[in-house]
Amino acid sequence: MSDQDRGEQAALQAFESAGAFLRGHFVYTSGRHGADYLEKFRILEDPRATMQLAAIVAGYFHSSGVQLVAGPTTGGIILAYEVARQLGVETLYVERGERGGRVLRRGFMISPGTRVLVVDDVVTTGGSVLETQACIAEAGGLVVGIGVLADRTAGRMETNVPFFACLSLDFPSYAPEECPLCAAGVPIAPPRGSGKRFAPV
C-alpha cells in the first residue's frame, strides 16, 4: 500500500469515527439534491480527528518550506491553526470582504515573499480556497500549496499550485425536478444548524 493510500485510509477512518458521513435526503448549497452529505463540523469538533487529519496535510507539505499557514473563515481557522502548530510556523485567517472575495483584517500582515500554505476543511466548488489564495498573493505572500481535509470535486478543481486532499469524494447530485429521492417521497433532512443531528452512515 502506497503512502497516499495509507493516508486516504486513515482519513476515511477519521471521518467515519467522527460520524461525519451522513445519509438521507439533502439540499446542497447549490440547490441540487443528494443522498450523501459530509458534515465537516463533526470532524472539527473532534480534536483527535482534527489532529490526525492535520498531520496528514502537514506531512504532505513538510518539505515545501512553509513559513505561514492561512485558512478562510470559519472551519479553516481551526485547521490552519493545527497544521501550523504541527509544522512549527505561524498562522492567520482571512475573512469575507464586504464586496466579496477574502480580505485580511485584525492586523494580520504578510511579509513579501513569505511562503504560505492555504488550508481548508471541505472543498465543494473551490471558491473559498481560491479567494484565499488571491488574498494572500495580493498581500505579497507566495502560495506554495493548498491542502484540504476533503475534496468533494473528486479532483476536478483546477489550481496553479500543488493541491492535496486527505480524502477525495464524488457525491452524485440532482436537479430538484430530477431527484430520485423526491420521486420516492424521501423527506428532506432539516437544514444544517437547526440543532438536529442526522444518523451517520
Q: How far apart are the C-alpha atoms of 24 and 129, rounded to whole Å?
A: 28
Residue 4 has a pLDDT of 63
Alpha carbons 13 and 28: distance in angstroms, whole number:
24
Q: What is the pLDDT of residue 13?
A: 84
* Residue that has been written with the C-alpha cell 459530509 in this structure: 38
Cell triple for residue 167? Answer: 480524502
* Residue 118 confidence (pLDDT): 97
pTM beyond cutoff 0.75: yes
Cell numbers at 45, concatenated: 469538533
Walk along the chain (201 residues) and give the pLDDT tens digit of each residue. Answer: 555 666 688 888 888 888 888 889 999 877 889 998 888 888 888 888 899 899 999 999 999 999 999 999 888 899 999 999 999 999 999 988 888 788 888 878 899 999 999 999 988 778 889 999 999 999 999 999 999 999 988 778 889 999 999 988 888 889 999 999 999 999 999 866 544 443 333
CATH numbers and ranges of domains, the chain? 3-183 (3.40.50.2020)
Q: How far apart are the first and last CA of the chain?
A: 26
Q: How far apart are CA 65 and CA 75, in angstroms?
A: 24
